[in-house]
Amino acid sequence: MKSELVERLLPGLTHDREYYEKLYPERNLGEKAIVTRYAPSPTGFVHIGNIFQLYISSKMARQTGGIVFLRIEDTDQERMVENGISKIIRDVESFGITFDEGAISETEEKGAYGPYIQSHRKEIYQTYAKDLLLKGLAYPDFTTKEELEKLRKEQETSKRRIGYYGKWARSRFLTEEEIEEKLDAGLPYIIRLKSTGDFNRKVVVEDAIRGKLEFPEDDIDQVLIKNDGLPTYHFAHAIDDHLMHTTHVIRGDEWVSSLPVHIGLHKALGFTPPIYCHIPPLNKKDGNSIRKLSKRKDPEMAVSYYHEMGIPVTAVMLYLATVSNSNFEEWYLSHPKEDVSHFEMSFDKIGTSGALFDMEKLFNLSRNYLSQISASEMYENTLEWAKKYNEKFASLLTQNKEVALQFLNIEREVEKPRKDYAMYSEVYDGMWYMFNEEFNPTEYEWQKITDKEEIETILKTYMESFFDENDNEEDWFNKVKDLCDALGYASNMKEYKQNPENFKGNVADVSTVLRVAFTSRSRTPNLYDIMKILGKEELERRIELVSKS
RNA sequence: GGUCCGUUGGUGAAGUGGCUUAACACGACGCCCUUUCACGGCGCUAUUCAUGGGUUCGAAUCCCGUACGGAUCACCA
């Protein structure tokens, strides 16, 4: 097409494509360095699937001495959300993921391959479109949406393949004179690729995760530049990832079917395509069927869900790691002390069929993780969570810091620590009875011994004759046994099992009475430690509360 | 409808022609240990890899068909 016409189609461009090719030279990185990106639309919504993808991306980049950058794909101006970019960055950072380059706020960015916001790259896309126009590899199309719809119906009724291709792509055959006439008439237009693809030929793509993929070539004249002058996703992707020297495009597998389009575009532009890595979706069981996790139906899809529940970020990342690389868990179990970042991830260990998002497994990982951190870390994290989501608990924690720390430390710094909590939101329920001002139970979880008089006898006898604040754990328990002997309960479990009829009950039953009296709960961490923290005065007060109940 | 992908237990999965009457982890269940719970220990949870056929001395692993599930077919990304 002659340049005057092209100039009318895409006016005001000051550079040619060589200018941009030189502006963004090859990156000076190691041979194996992976350069990849996170490229969301600024709808402001990051979900757990995005975090999953990003985890893989940043892991692979960091592991190879490469780069991950954030590119904002805002070519659809209608879907924009206010402060969308900041929201994305905030959510991503809340999972500990950072970028080497790209947008850092609504208006700022860092890195030498920008702009990283697609709407700021309009001229670049148009320059490449112009080049294609000049070479006769693209053309303007004045077809209206209504006409397109009509075409689709026609193809449907005649059972043809649907799409703007071959002889159906009527605007392909417009002469330059006709184009000028339409331009004179002020008709709106878009720019389309003049595809050289042939549906009967095959394109073969080697996906780093899925292996060899084969498709018919794409012969559809894809839209390059939309009516508003901005590029379509496909066109922008080809140019951006070429200019930004992306080596690996890591994205959700809903994109695999556009692979022929992207390959075709790269070919038309004379680019070498990047390596594509399509990751499987995170699924959920819904009744009997399995479907992709949905942000409308599934609360666990939202990033905020994890923060509100107080599921530690580390646990979520651990879970995503186990889902992404099937050999991660084995590695993790055999390297308990090692930094998780030392694990070497590989694309070929990423599964191809979508995994069910397993909350139970996540909780298990989380319980393990929380059992391994120190009491003070646990305290700080819980407090931080409570400040945001449970203010009353936060002030209790602050006012009773020592008690909370001691309580959280029970059976913690030992070889096999307790696994009481999977999330910070569970901590209140596990420790409220340690706060004297909170302890005024309306319900006691009595177990075998429920008779009020018997309970009071046990408690009074214990406090009067056996309790000594200064006892160590062994003496303490021996005295509980003495109490049993004194009241007709078996202090020795074996004897009890042999002749249960000789006793009113056993030492476990008696211990449970003490436990429930002091905490109202039948399940707590080690009773001796709890009593030690509570102190004699408070224990006596609690016995009185039992009498009053 | 076209195109493409996938299918190993309740779940995540290992497995790429013989070492697999299918590893490991989570969950469920049972037993043991035990002052409760937890932890821990032991056991159980797929005679079989969606299904039918074929290749082979031999198949979860290779080939073909079928079923089921998923993705995609926009001037959205």
- Domains parsed from chain A with CATH numbers: 32-113+280-372 (3.40.50.620), 123-279 (3.40.50.620), 373-423 (no CATH), 452-548 (1.10.10.350)
**Angstrom distance (rounded) from CA A323 to CA A339:** 18
* pLDDT < 50 regions, chain A: none
* Furthest C-alpha separation in chain A: 112
Inter-CA distances, A1 with A6, A130, A131, A284, A515, Å: 7, 10, 10, 52, 88
pLDDT at A416: 79
Q: Which residue is nearest to nucleotide B25 (CA to C1')?
A: A329
In a 3-state reduction of DSSP, which class is residue A144?
Answer: coil
pLDDT at A288: 64
The separation, in Å, between residue A325 CA and nucleotide B60 C1' comes to 21
Nearest to A314 by CA among A256, A366, A358, A274: A366
- The nt closest to A225 (CA vs C1′) is B75
The separation, in Å, between residue A431 CA and nucleotide B7 C1' comes to 46
**Angstrom distance (rounded) from CA A527 to CA A533:** 10
Please tell me whether any atom of strand B lies within 7 Å of the Cβ of A428: no
Inter-CA distances, A313 with A92, A273, A347, A421, Å: 11, 35, 23, 14
Q: Which residue is nearest to nucleotide B76 (CA to C1')?
A: A76
Report which residue type is found at A260.
P
Please tell me whether any atom of strand B lies within 7 Å of the Cβ of A216: yes
**Angstrom distance (rounded) from CA A121 to CA A255:** 23
**Angstrom distance (rounded) from CA A423 to CA A409:** 16
pLDDT at A327: 83
Please tell me whether any atom of strand B lies within 7 Å of the Cβ of A23: no
Contact between residue A140 and residue A171 where contact means Cβ atoms under 8 Å apart: yes
Protein-contacted bases of chain B (C-beta within 7 A): 1-8, 10-16, 23-27, 34-40, 69-77
Contact between residue A246 and residue A217 where contact means Cβ atoms under 8 Å apart: no
**Angstrom distance (rounded) from CA A143 to CA A170:** 9
* Strand duo A223-225 + A289-292: pairing: unpaired
Inter-CA distances, A323 with A318, A319, A353, Å: 9, 6, 11
Query: Structure tokens of A184?
Result: 């004179």
Query: Structure tokens of A525?
Result: 């961490």
Please tell me whether any atom of strand B lies within 7 Å of the Cβ of A355: yes
Q: Which residue is nearest to nucleotide B34 (CA to C1')?
A: A508
Q: Which residue is nearest to nucleotide B75 (CA to C1')?
A: A226
Backbone angles phi, psi at A169, to 5 degrees: -80, 75
* Secondary structure E strands in A7-142: 35-38, 67-70, 101-103, 109-110, 138-141
Inter-CA distances, A380 with A30, A233, A392, A398, Å: 41, 44, 16, 10
In a 3-state reduction of DSSP, which class is residue A52?
Answer: helix
Please tell me whether any atom of strand B lies within 7 Å of the Cβ of A163: yes
The separation, in Å, between residue A356 CA and nucleotide B47 C1' comes to 28
Helix ranges (H only) for A259-372 are: 259-269, 303-309, 313-324, 328-334, 359-372
The separation, in Å, between residue A548 CA and nucleotide B15 C1' comes to 64
State the complex-level ipTM: 0.89
Query: Structure tokens of A417?
Result: 């620590």
Backbone angles phi, psi at A98, to 5 degrees: -125, 160
Task: Name the region of A166 (left: φ>0; alpha: ψ -120 to 50; beta: rest).
Answer: left
Please tell me whether any atom of strand B lies within 7 Å of the Cβ of A526: yes
Please tell me whether any atom of strand B lies within 7 Å of the Cβ of A505: no
Inter-CA distances, A218 with A165, A172, A241, A409, Å: 9, 16, 20, 63
Please tell me whether any atom of strand B lies within 7 Å of the Cβ of A419: yes
Contacts of A156 (CB under 8 A, 6+ apart): A162
Nearest to A531 by CA among A382, A374, A410, A376: A410
